[in-house]
Chains A and B, each alone.
Chain A
């Protein structure tokens, strides 16, 4: 029961920090003006074109594809795997489970392996490519270690130790309606959950901000129409007078 309470508190704290931190960050990005037109050209000349470009960046990592194929492969494995795993995890938080979430369950299984393999590949680059080794900080390594441990602990529960997923679902459904149901006492789930809480806590303070950041990057989200439409930010417009 102590463990249950501790995890309940931890998850309220982590979720709160995650939400507030992320909203604050996004609000800062949105509020900070972009005074000049700086799309990396040639860029789309319409809003719709920009939306398409952004979709290609977010779903296919188009620029990364042009840059280095190996990083792209590992990165795609990791992110696609992560996305599937997270969607699959929705079943712990909704009841009754939506039909499409049930539908993807079998795919999600392999996605866990794909995600971990991708992460390992990305990590290998940090050791074997001298340029990437040079730029890696301890936090870069730890971030990968963290995600790999989350992934492996999940896979271990799934395939080796097994855990009481129904009780876990009860626990999280309970948290969402502010009541506390007992969490199964199982060290693997303790590990999985503590690290997930840690991930949520560091999210708004770390490079994981690349996920919201990409949408606010002026070189990617601006329309190339500088001659046809005047672009002016608030602080720049104050200078806008005189001969």
Chain B
């Protein structure tokens, strides 16, 4: 694959591309080494009994997940989803159509778990799980970012993300893990964050930030770490600690806490909001990662848990934490009960940083100088996991309104991208779901095509020069792929980066 990575041309009409069979067949993300696999207690490849393990796992998951069971049976091949996936739009590979991606597994399901598939495999498109099929699974189930756009359009709500997660779980059980995700999960267990930043490095970074913001603003804005008895524990993606433009949003959060006079802290033990356990569809891993957060909250004695700008982290926090670790309505084990007593239930638990900021802004506890953002002409990219996997506030669609309200409160120039590319129909950035790795760069560039087209539209129509979002993966992905489409990489940034520019610190 020595060919140069290039952005595909924009489509002349907004219609699906013609299918190009096999276009992405050879795109294969790096496989996890034995060491990475063993680290998570997963088998290594190629285990002699991979076939039976995989089929056994599939049977187990079919009994554990209603989603998988119903979705394997219900699809009628109507094609409603077939032109909805950004990877299909960007690559034309028909196996990147959601229905065809599901069929990679459905064909095997039919063969081993249904009567017609056992009797007449050719009739219903059933096939044995061979090495070739397993390789095909590996390649194409790592070309899905689990963004759920297909599930919006499916008449039965079939969610390819559920099937991709199950497929990755089965692949892991056969020893065929992905290097990127599984290595990162290992780092979280060992160190506490995806990037493997140890405590001294964190202290160093945060102290540097305090000096920089002091220089910039003249105020003593704190970036506290491991402060017992703080009001808020902020759980944020570790990219916020050092990556551009993420760090500007971290500064924004700190300024909000400062201006509102809320004491807060980060945790060195639990310095990661992201939860790659979800990406690989492994409940136990996901739970284990989430448990670190509960532990940190208990040890630090905080009253509130607030989550920073990170899409899938917010999905896990909003939709799953209550189930996994009892943050929300509360669990039944002793630690969950203790935490439930400790938390302040006048506030949503967990709370998104945007919910917190917007609430303060509405109450005029924090105020803004909108003109400070006048150089920015802004659009908003809905991150897929926030849009379709979570909510905010108490109203239907709060996850769309609240971040937009903040942007409009802190800046004067805001323009929406075309309908059908925002809100619940938003296009994934192209790098979510465990695909944000350089060995998949070609896929990532192509997968961002529909978002880039929508962006181009507002750039041409309104001169947009800033795309705000609330996801660490989106930020990293766009920083990388924007130049392929001829845009400046600094066009992407966080909502709290804009907050940071405009928030009034002193005169309050």
Contact = CB atoms under 8 A, between A and B. Distances in A.
Contacts of B332: 237, 240
A214 interface: yes
B322 A231 contact: yes
Interface string A223-237: 010111111100111
Contact of A40 (B19, B152, B398): B152
B125 A137 contact: yes
Contacts of A61: 155
Residues of B in contact with A, size category: 35 or more
Given A38-B319, A135-B103, A228 B156 contact: no
Contacts of B330: 230
A204 to B, nearest CB: 9
Interface stretch (B115-123, B257-265, B358-366, B440-448): B115-123
B389 to A, nearest CB: 6
B200 interface: no
Interface in B295-349: 295, 298, 318-320, 322-323, 326, 328-336, 348-349
B350 interface: yes
B349 A227 contact: yes
Nearest to A64: B155
Interface string A52-93: 000001000101101110010001000000000000000000
Interface stretch (B24-32, B76-84, B137-145, B479-487): B76-84
B74 A213 contact: yes
B99 interface: yes
A29 B77 contact: no
Contacts of A122: 78
Contacts of B69: 28-29, 32
Interface stretch (A126-134, A145-153, A174-182): A126-134
A41 B399 contact: yes
Interface string B60-93: 0011111101110111111111111000000000
B284 A63 contact: no
A169 interface: no
A227 B329 contact: yes
Contacts of A25: 73
A118 interface: no
A217 B158 contact: yes
B152 A129 contact: no
Interface in A180-201: none
A63 B295 contact: no
A217 B328 contact: no
A190 to B, nearest CB: 24
A227 B318 contact: yes
Contact of B333 (A28, A68, A132, A242): A242
Contact of B67 (A38, A71, A134, A227): A38
Nearest to B74: A213
A61 B157 CA distance: 11
B156 A132 contact: no
Given A135-B97, A231-B322, A243 B155 contact: no
B320 A36 contact: yes
Contacts of A136: 77
Interface string A209-223: 110011011111000
A53 to B, nearest CB: 10
A25 B73 CA distance: 10
A98 B29 CA distance: 63
A229 B157 contact: no
B80 A63 contact: yes
Most buried by B among A42, A45, A129, A139: A42
Given A131-B82, A214-B156, A227 B73 contact: no
Given A63-B157, A213-B156, A35 B65 contact: yes
A66 B74 contact: no
A67 to B, nearest CB: 4
Most buried by A among B99, B116, B153, B336: B153
A12 B123 CA distance: 26
B78 A217 contact: no
Contact of A205 (B18, B79, B116, B122): B116
Contact of B388 (A40, A63, A135, A232): A40
A230 B148 contact: no
B153 A134 contact: no
A50 to B, nearest CB: 12
Contact of A213 (B63, B70, B329): B70
Contacts of B387: 41
A6 interface: no
The 7 closest A-B CB pairs, nearest first, are A213-B74, A67-B80, A67-B153, A219-B157, A137-B125, A220-B157, A132-B79
11 contacts: A38-B159, A42-B396, A75-B78, A134-B19, A135-B77, A140-B77, A210-B155, A214-B157, A226-B322, A230-B329, A242-B291
Given A137-B125, A232-B323, A237-B332, 14 more contacts: A29-B70, A32-B65, A36-B323, A40-B157, A41-B389, A41-B399, A44-B396, A57-B156, A67-B80, A131-B19, A210-B73, A214-B156, A217-B157, A227-B348
Interface of A: 25, 28-29, 32-38, 40-42, 44-45, 57, 61, 63-64, 66-68, 71, 75, 122, 125, 129-132, 134-140, 142, 202, 205-207, 209-210, 213-214, 216-220, 224, 226-232, 235-237, 239-243
